[in-house]
Amino acid sequence: MSDAAFWDAEAEAFDESADHGLRDPVVREAWRSLLGGVLPSAPSDVADLGCGTGSLALLAAAAGHRVTGVDFAPRMLEQAARKAAAADLPVSWVLGDASAPPLPDGGFDVVLERHVLWALPDAAAAIVAWSRLLRPGGALVLIEGRWWTGAGLRADDVRRLLEAAGRTAEIESLPDPGLWGGPLRDERYLVVSRTR
């Protein structure tokens, strides 16, 4: 099974996890507030890479941003487009590889991703590619973790990758159970990164 086929198979049930579907108002509000604290004033141009079913993309669109969601799993994008239509929110959905997004260089104020960097074969190359999408003054907003299963990236690993690419790394731990729909037993964090 290719990686995209793996994620396609996950698509239908993906939003059943509290932090994926954001169906619980407490969880939804926690993510709305977190994004509100790191995105610039709306409207800005936001690329959500590996957007999955589009939950964060839709929160950003609801806040007035112009959002493009990229994913390589067609069934994930189908779910995202269905949710956008139901909410009457205009998001551009693009089928493509988050490692080398088919988006214009210098076209975005924010490149956002949640739980995607860890899954890419060459995270260092992805950070370079993502940096090219940013306008001067723009930021990478990365939400990552190192799960109890052993999968994922530690915050220090992401810091090293960003610094090697000539970028800053402002890391915030995300222990709030409200974000995840329950208590955590592993490492979750947000990184805001700008060009040095």
Ligand X SMILES: C[S@@+](CC[C@H](N)C(=O)[O-])C[C@H]1O[C@@H](n2cnc3c(N)ncnc32)[C@H](O)[C@@H]1O
Return the number of the residue (71 or 109) whose C-beta is nearest ligand X. 71
Return the number of the residue (72 or 189) whose C-beta is nearest ligand X. 72
117 touching ligand X, by CB under 6 A:
no
Give me the least distance between CB of 175 and ligand X, in Å please. Answer: 18
Return the number of the residue (17 or 173) whose C-beta is nearest ligand X. 17
Return the number of the residue (50 or 138) whose C-beta is nearest ligand X. 50
CB 188 within 8 A of CB 174: yes
Q: Binders of ligand X among 61-100, rule CB under 6 A?
A: 71-73, 76, 97-99
* Dist CA 131 CA 136 (whole Å): 10
Binding site for ligand X (CB under 6 A): 3, 7, 20, 50-52, 55-56, 71-73, 76, 97-99, 114-116, 119-120
